[in-house]
């Protein structure tokens, strides 16, 4: 590994700040948008007419953001280079009727979102974040970033089988957090949230709220070579893609043969089937409108898509020292070994040999080491937005990511070098 690419503390420090500022998908896209604004990007409204001017632009919709940079002289059929990611993480979500409780405990009714490791949410100090919807159709971000909720675990004295037989949690009965004492009052939680947001409770007519751990990210290890934190699946990739797109947009236009794009979607953890998910029309619509705004035809759209390549960046599995038998015996990605190329011949990942060559070339240009991940044949393979993107839009897609441990935990673990290495590889890819 080149000495110039060793752990860039500034980049990883910035990732930690990004994670803290992004306790929900809505906060994540707002944080990414603010960073792109500083790099000269400007928001375009979906309901407005678009023009064909050059420069950086982005669209926000709920928990999704699509951003792209059109260099001077870009033709209508100029292809795209896309980095795809997702903004959501497995967690707990507040139900429509949130006020509940028994035996003098006031609780919040929650639903399980995605494939979270339930036990990792026990006995943690939790805040509450997301967005509230107001009369008139506006939204307000909310982030109560202090200890407010807790899902208490049953004492071992009352469950002697927990250690020898393993903890068994009922998703309905055992995961409802407490947030105080007293009688249950209908509307109490939303009144509290409205007060925190500085709005009248009567004006709040909808909400998308979720608990989040308030413990900040932290370096750990003898040499601080590891990073622990929440929501790294997949805000690590969103942060890297945002940094890469901003950096590439600062290059001279003559050096950009493609139009670089960042596409960060919501709802990956539950199948991507929403208007802000990768299986929705958002990305295709944005790319098409960009072609047509530059005076292009359907033929130009087809030519642009035919030359487009997408790197779908999501976290992947590093070799686990306590469960090595769960991994493929010849593919052992390690943390701080660089980003991983994900391969599955059954197309749970979209990578093929041509995609491998694209990724390898980007890493070569960036002087970044890389690794390969393949699942153990005896276990089902996970998936990402990669195959969805490839199938829905007919564009070449490659699945990659950073290796981590404790995936889908409330607090995950990665190598402190890997976020910087991933961002460098993405920058080289977007630059073409």
Confidence of residue 9 (pLDDT cuts 50, 70, 90): confident
pLDDT of residue 4: 37
- Could you report the per-residue pLDDT of 404-428, keeping only the tens digit for each? 999 999 999 999 999 999 999 999 9
- Min mean pLDDT across 38-42, 250-254, 266-270 is at 250-254
pLDDT of residue 7: 56
Going across the sheet that includes 226-229, the strands are 218-220, 226-229, 412-415, 403-405, 316-317
pLDDT of residue 8: 64
pLDDT at 1 over 50: no
pLDDT at 246 over 50: yes
Q: Please compute the mean of the pLDDT values over residues 231-245 and round it to a whole number.
A: 98
Q: Please compute the mean of the pLDDT values over residues 292-310 and round it to a whole number.
A: 97
Q: Please compute the mean of the pLDDT values over residues 279-296 and round it to a whole number.
A: 97
pLDDT at 165 over 90: no
Peptide linkage before 234 cis (omega within 30 of 0): yes
Confidence of residue 376 (pLDDT cuts 50, 70, 90): very high
38: its two tokens: 């500083």
Q: Please compute the mean of the pLDDT values over residues 55-82 and round it to a whole number.
A: 97
Q: What does the alpha-carbon distance between residue 268 and residue 278 come to, in Å, rounded to a whole number? A: 7
Q: Please compute the mean of the pLDDT values over residues 272-282 and round it to a whole number.
A: 97
pLDDT of residue 243: 97
pTM: 0.96
Q: Please compute the mean of the pLDDT values over residues 41-50 and round it to a whole number.
A: 97
Average pLDDT, the chain: 95
Q: Please compute the mean of the pLDDT values over residues 234-254 and round it to a whole number.
A: 95
Q: What whole-number percentage of the chain has pLDDT above 70? A: 98
What Cα–Cα distance (Å) separates residue 224 from each residue in 40, 124, 218, 239?
34, 23, 9, 21
Q: What does the alpha-carbon distance between residue 95 and residue 324 come to, in Å, rounded to a whole number? A: 38
Would you call 367 exposed, middle or buried from its count of C-beta atoms within 10 A (0-12, 13-18, 19+)?
middle
Q: Please compute the mean of the pLDDT values over residues 192-209 and round it to a whole number.
A: 97
């Amino acid at each position: 590994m080149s000495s110039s690419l060793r752990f860039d503390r500034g980049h990883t420090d910035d990732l930690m700040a990004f994670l803290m500022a992004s306790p929900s998908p809505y906060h994540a896209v707002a944080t990414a948008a603010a960073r792109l604004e500083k790099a000269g990007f400007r928001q375009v409204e979906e309901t407005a007419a678009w023009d064909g001017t050059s420069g950086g632009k982005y669209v926000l919709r709920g928990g999704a953001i699509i951003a792209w940079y059109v260099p001077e002289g870009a033709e209508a059929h100029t292809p795209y280079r896309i980095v795809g990611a997702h903004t959501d993480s497995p967690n707990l979500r507040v139900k429509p009727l949130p006020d509940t409780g028994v035996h003098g405990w006031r609780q919040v009714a929650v639903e399980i979102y995605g494939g979270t490791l339930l036990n990792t949410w026990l006995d943690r100090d939790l805040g509450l974040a997301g967005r509230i919807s107001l009369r008139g159709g506006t939204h307000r971000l909310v982030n109560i970033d202090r200890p407010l909720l807790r899902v208490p675990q049953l004492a071992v004295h009352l469950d002697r089988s927990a250690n020898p037989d393993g903890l068994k949690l009922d998703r309905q009965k055992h995961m409802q957090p407490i947030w105080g004492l007293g009688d249950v009052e209908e509307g109490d939680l939303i009144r509290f949230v409205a007060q925190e947001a500085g709005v009248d409770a009567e004006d709040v007519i909808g909400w998308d709220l979720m608990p989040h751990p308030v413990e900040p990210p932290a370096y750990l290890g003898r040499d601080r070579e590891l990073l622990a934190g929440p929501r790294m699946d997949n805000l690590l990739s969103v942060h890297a893609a945002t940094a890469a797109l901003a950096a590439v947009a600062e290059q001279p236009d003559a050096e950009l043969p493609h139009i670089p794009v960042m596409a960060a979607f919501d709802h990956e953890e539950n199948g991507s089937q929403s208007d802000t998910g990768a299986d929705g029309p958002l990305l295709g619509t944005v790319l098409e409108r960009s072609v047509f705004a530059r005076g292009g035809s359907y033929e130009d759209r087809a030519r642009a898509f035919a030359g487009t390549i997408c790197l779908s960046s999501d976290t992947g599995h590093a070799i686990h020292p306590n469960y090595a038998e769960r991994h493929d015996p010849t593919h052992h990605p390690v943390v701080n070994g660089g980003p991983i190329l994900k391969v599955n011949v059954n197309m749970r990942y979209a990578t093929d040999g041509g995609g491998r060559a694209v990724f390898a070339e980007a890493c070569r240009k960036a002087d970044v080491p890389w690794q390969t991940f393949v699942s153990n044949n005896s276990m089902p393979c996970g998936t990402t937005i990669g195959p969805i993107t490839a199938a829905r839009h007919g564009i070449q897609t490659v699945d990659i990511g950073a290796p981590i441990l404790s995936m889908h935990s409330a607090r995950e673990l990665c190598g402190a070098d890997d976020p910087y290495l991933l961002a460098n590889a993405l920058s080289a890819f977007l630059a073409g």
